[in-house]
Amino acid sequence: MIIKVCGMREADNIREVEQLSTINCQLSINWMGFIFWPRSSRYVSERPDYLPIYCKRVGVFVDEDIEQVKRTADEYQLDLIQLHGHERPDYIRQLSDKKVIKAFNIANSADLEATKPYEGIVDYFLFDAKGPSVGGNGAKFDWTVLADYVGETPFLLSGGIGPDDAQVLTSHLSPLISKKCVGIDLNSRFEITPGLKDINKLKEFIKAIQL
């Protein structure tokens, strides 16, 4: 199970989150997300003094110029690119040297239809809740609608997952894994302020879901 912590920005906080995996092998934060969308409250406006070494780096973009995406990917040595806008398959094909995550905002099973043009084009989907922003709204959607997902592309579950959700999440994950769920995305509900994660909340939550 991939655990992605998104919306990172502060160097010391990045280091602390990464150390959760390296200090205790029972904890495993695999990916760390950096948001390069200027309208986000977690926008990375300048390169942090420290970037993860052990966690894979994920750059989050929203309808960004393709050349700017490539420049940022090179500057930050990104391992994956997450697209949260209206990027079409032709756009994504220009990023063939990187693994790509395409995000979709889900409210009901009909919204899953939007994934079909991206089958075989991207490496992962990310299913998030609909909200006023493209992500980081702290809201859940009805996870049971994912029982209707019939695609072959593996996906990560996102949207309002918080410290108190370990038990309900664990009960939902078993059937979703058979539907290609390979990970979860953690963000706003583990924050002290936007872009600053609460280390203790992350630690306790990850321990609980890995029991």
Instruction: Say what the pLDDT of residue 175 is.
Output: 78
User: What's the pLDDT score for residue 140?
Assistant: 86
**Domain ranges, ordered by start, for the chain:** 2-209
Quick one: tokens of 40? 């986000």
Domain 2-209 -> CATH class: alpha beta
Q: How many C-beta atoms lie closer than 10 Å to residue 77's C-beta?
A: 9
Q: Judging by DSSP bridges, how do beta strands 124-129 and 99-106 pair with one another?
A: parallel
Q: What is the 3-state secondary structure (H, E, C) of the chain?
A: CEEEECCCCCHHHHHHHHHHHHHCCCCCCCEEEEECCCCCCCECCCCCCCCCCCCEEEEEECCCCHHHHHHHHHHHCCCEEEECCCCCHHHHHCCCCCEEEEEEEECCHHHHHHHHHHCCCCCEEEEEECCCCCCCCCCCCCHHHHHHCCCCCCEEECCCCCHHHHHHHHHHHHHHHCCCEEEEEECHHHEEECCEECHHHHHHHHHHHCC
Judging by beta carbons within 10 Å of its beta carbon (0-12, 13-18, 19+), is residue 19 exposed, middle or buried? middle
pLDDT of residue 67: 97
**Model pLDDT, residue 100:** 98
Show pLDDT as tens, one digit a residue, over the chain (211 residues). Answer: 899 999 999 999 999 999 987 655 556 899 999 999 999 999 999 999 999 999 999 999 999 999 999 999 999 999 999 999 999 999 999 999 999 999 999 999 999 999 999 999 999 999 999 765 565 556 788 888 999 999 999 999 998 899 999 888 888 777 787 779 999 999 999 999 999 999 999 999 988 887 5
Write the CA distances from 65 to 50, 81, 107, 151, integer angstroms. Answer: 26, 13, 28, 28
The Cα–Cα gap between 34 and 39 comes to 13
pLDDT on residue 171 = 80
pLDDT of the residue at 132: 59
